[in-house]
Amino acid sequence: MTTITFQGKPINTSGELPAIDSPAPDFKLVNGKLKDVGLAAYAGKRKLLNIVPSLDTPTCAASARMFNQKAANIANTVVLLVSADLPFAQCRFCTSEGLQNVIPLSTFRSSFADDYGVRLIDSILAGLTARAVVVIDAHDKVIYTELVAELANEPDYDSVLRVLALAE
């Protein structure tokens, strides 16, 4: 369990992010066609997991836009936008925002939030995910993690982009 804050009040996650240099936990997330996808769907590519509570919040929307613009053009990298939103809502959001360089994936019917230690276990947001970034290399090894300490804040984009640039 890890403690973060939401508007300054402590809230807890279900665990901890995977350790740097450890194998990335496989996952089943649901895409816009209601199909389960896992790490194998992105074999041989680097995966930037932009994990957000809900795309219906300004901070989550901002990080989706930023990674769509900045990280999606990095060679051999996919940006996976992971939230608890239903796949239909994720697709509608990406279409309305013109986000073509991210792949929205839902934690709907998935243990992902627990497997990655990001499920919020208390507060009014219990059941959603904490805001986090996990970068996985082409061999499915974790090379970067960030659990954003204050849920209302955006991730450290510069650090994520530096790690991706160095991993090229």
Residue 84 lies in a domain: yes
Model pLDDT for residues 38-79, shown as the tens digit of each residue = 999 999 999 999 999 999 888 998 999 999 888 767 889 999
Residue 4 lies in a domain: no
Residue 2 lies in a domain: no
User: What's the confidence (pLDDT) of residue 37?
Assistant: 97
Residue 40 lies in a domain: no
Identify the active-site residue in 60, 78, 82, 133.
60
- First vs last C-alpha separation in the chain: 33
Q: How far lies 126's CA from each of 5, 39, 107, in Å?
A: 13, 26, 14
Please answer whether residues 85 and 50 qualify as being in contact, where contact means their C-beta atoms are separated by less than 8 angstroms. Answer: no
* Structural domain containing residue 156: 11-30+45-166
Residue 166 has pLDDT above 70, yes or no: yes
Q: Give the CATH number, domain containing residue 23.
A: 3.40.30.10
Residue 113 lies in a domain: yes
Residue 35 lies in a domain: no
Model pLDDT for residues 100-131, shown as the tens digit of each residue = 889 999 999 999 999 999 999 999 999 999 99
How many folded domains does the chain comprise? 1
Whether 94 is catalytic is no
Residue 3 lies in a domain: no
Structure tokens at 107: 């934690």
User: What's this model's pTM, rounded to 2 decimal places?
Assistant: 0.95
Residue 135 lies in a domain: yes
